[in-house]
């Protein structure tokens, strides 16, 4: 492994001169600099990240921590993060699982973006206390070293509920998410608020865990209760909506006919459904980009405000007008 020491020997200068030359310092003449660079290239020199990091106390690496690598959901998000950090000379690495948490306190990374309920609030606060900079996408946490970039879940859930109600549905099913998910809790809170504003609407809450299977289960339950006016169904995420969607179709019933359905997230998968699934959309790319931007600003010492990612309704034929207003 060739080090600056080797270069120094070969070029007949001291290691400090080599270091200055490699770092474009004006402290060396152009002449010696070019000679040193030539030697470095010839020897195939590559700096040792650990040594530089040890001295500079920075790695130029940002970590993104995800619950899992299952992906479908994360592509755009990570792409958004990466583009921003790359532009500033940082690299993005993606990690998952408890074991990798060490990278943060051991200072392998200069900051982290968290979308992973495997981190407890306490753990994150401890890291923040140690001086590590964090951006959280999945919880509210107040600390000088923590910034949050959160979805406007409540607005989204309101949009979804209003859409069903405006289309004349007076009986609604809500397929919930896991209680330990911040997003799920927020969406549910907004659902309740909407229902408070609409006492004429009857609502039934069904359990769910954001996975497809729980959407299927909810679908069966709803099918077994079908009677009279078609109900509206709001699944708190698209994956469950897809499970429900298919269960309904597999039983010979029609989405948008025998019931109306709205999801949340506008994941890529919905492109493969027909009729179009109404859902709540937001830019995952922007979410990731914003998170990176906030993190880098914190690292460079700037003050940042918490950010919110706005959402909008995507209409679809999975919802159709009913009753009086139809």
Partner DNA sequence: TTGTACGCGTTATCAT
Partner DNA sequence: ATGATAACGCGTACAA
Q: Which is nearer to DNA, 19 or 246 (CB)?
A: 19
Among 43-51, 81-89, 155-163, 229-237, the segment contacting DNA (CB under 7 A): 43-51
Q: What is the spatial distance between Cα 14 and Cα 11, in angstroms, rounded to a whole number?
A: 9
Peptide bond into 275 cis (omega under 30): yes
Does 1 help bind DNA (rule: CB under 7 A)? yes
Does 61 help bind a second copy (rule: CB under 8 A)? yes
Q: Which is nearer to a second copy, 48 or 193 (CB)?
A: 48
Among 19-27, 80-88, 132-140, 249-257, the segment contacting DNA (CB under 7 A): 19-27
Among 17-25, 42-50, 148-156, 217-225, the segment contacting a second copy (CB under 8 A): 42-50
Residue 29 contact partner, candidates DNA, a second copy, none, CB within 5 to 8 A by sort of partner: DNA
Which secondary structure element, helix H or strand E, spans residue 112, and what is its range? strand 111-115
The contacts of residue 60 (CB under 8 Å, 6+ apart) are 89, 90, 91, 110
> Among residues 9, 38, 41, 51, which is the contact residue for DNA, using CB under 7 A?
51
Does 74 help bind a second copy (rule: CB under 8 A)? yes
Across the strands, what pairs with 114?
Answer: 65, 136
Q: What is the spatial distance between Cα 85 and Cα 276, in angstroms, rounded to a whole number?
A: 35
Residue 70 contact partner, candidates DNA, a second copy, none, CB within 5 to 8 A by sort of partner: a second copy
Longest dimension (CA), the chain: 91
Closest separation between CB of residue 159 and a second copy, Å? 25
> Among residues 86, 189, 193, 312, which is the contact residue for a second copy, using CB under 8 A?
86
In this structure, what DSSP letter does residue 143 have? Answer: B
Residue 78 contact partner, candidates DNA, a second copy, none, CB within 5 to 8 A by sort of partner: a second copy
Q: What is the spatial distance between Cα 39 and Cα 33, in angstroms, rounded to a whole number?
A: 10
Residues near a second copy (CB under 8 A), total? 51
| CA nearest neighbour of 161 among 234, 231, 218, 230 | 234
The CA–CA distances, whole Å, from 7 to 16, 33, 42, 49 equal: 11, 12, 9, 17
Q: Which of residues 205-234 bind a second copy (CB under 8 A)?
A: none
Both structure tokens of 179: 């209680």
3-class SS of residue 131: coil
Q: Which is nearer to a second copy, 7 or 159 (CB)?
A: 7
**Which chain residues interact with DNA by CB under 7 A?**
1, 3-5, 12-17, 19-20, 22-23, 26-29, 31-32, 45, 47-48, 51-52, 54-57
């Amino acid at each position: 492994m060739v080090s600056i020491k080797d270069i120094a020997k070969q070029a007949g200068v001291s290691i400090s001169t080599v270091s200055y030359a490699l770092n474009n310092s004006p402290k060396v003449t152009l002449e010696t600099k070019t000679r040193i660079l030539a030697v470095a290239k010839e020897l195939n020199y590559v700096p040792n990240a650990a040594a530089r990091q040890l001295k500079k106390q920075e790695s130029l690496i940002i970590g993104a921590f995800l619950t899992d690598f299952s992906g479908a959901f994360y592509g755009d998000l990570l792409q958004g993060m990466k583009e921003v950090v790359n532009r500033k000379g940082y690299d993005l690495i993606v990690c998952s699982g408890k074991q990798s948490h060490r990278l943060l306190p051991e200072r392998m990374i200069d900051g982290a973006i968290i979308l992973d309920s495997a981190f407890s609030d306490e753990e994150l606060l401890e890291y923040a206390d140690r001086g590590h900079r964090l951006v959280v996408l999945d919880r509210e946490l107040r600390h000088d070293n923590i910034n949050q970039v959160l979805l406007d879940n409540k607005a989204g859930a309101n949009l979804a509920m209003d859409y069903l109600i405006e289309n004349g549905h007076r009986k609604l099913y809500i397929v919930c998410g896991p209680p330990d998910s911040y997003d799920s809790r927020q969406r549910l809170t907004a659902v309740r608020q909407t229902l408070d504003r609409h006492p004429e609407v009857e609502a039934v809450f069904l359990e769910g865990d954001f996975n497809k299977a729980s959407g299927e289960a909810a679908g069966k339950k709803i099918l077994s209760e079908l009677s009279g006016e078609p109900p509206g169904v709001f699944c708190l995420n698209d994956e469950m909506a897809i499970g429900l969607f298919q269960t309904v179709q597999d039983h010979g019933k029609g989405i948008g006919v025998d019931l109306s359905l709205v999801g949340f997230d506008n994941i890529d998968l919905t492109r493969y459904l027909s009729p179009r699934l109404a859902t709540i959309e937001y830019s995952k790319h922007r979410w990731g980009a914003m998170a990176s931007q906030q993190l880098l600003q914190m690292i460079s010492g700037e003050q940042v405000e918490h950010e919110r990612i706005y959402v909008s309704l995507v209409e679809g034929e999975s919802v159709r007008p009913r009753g009086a207003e139809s």
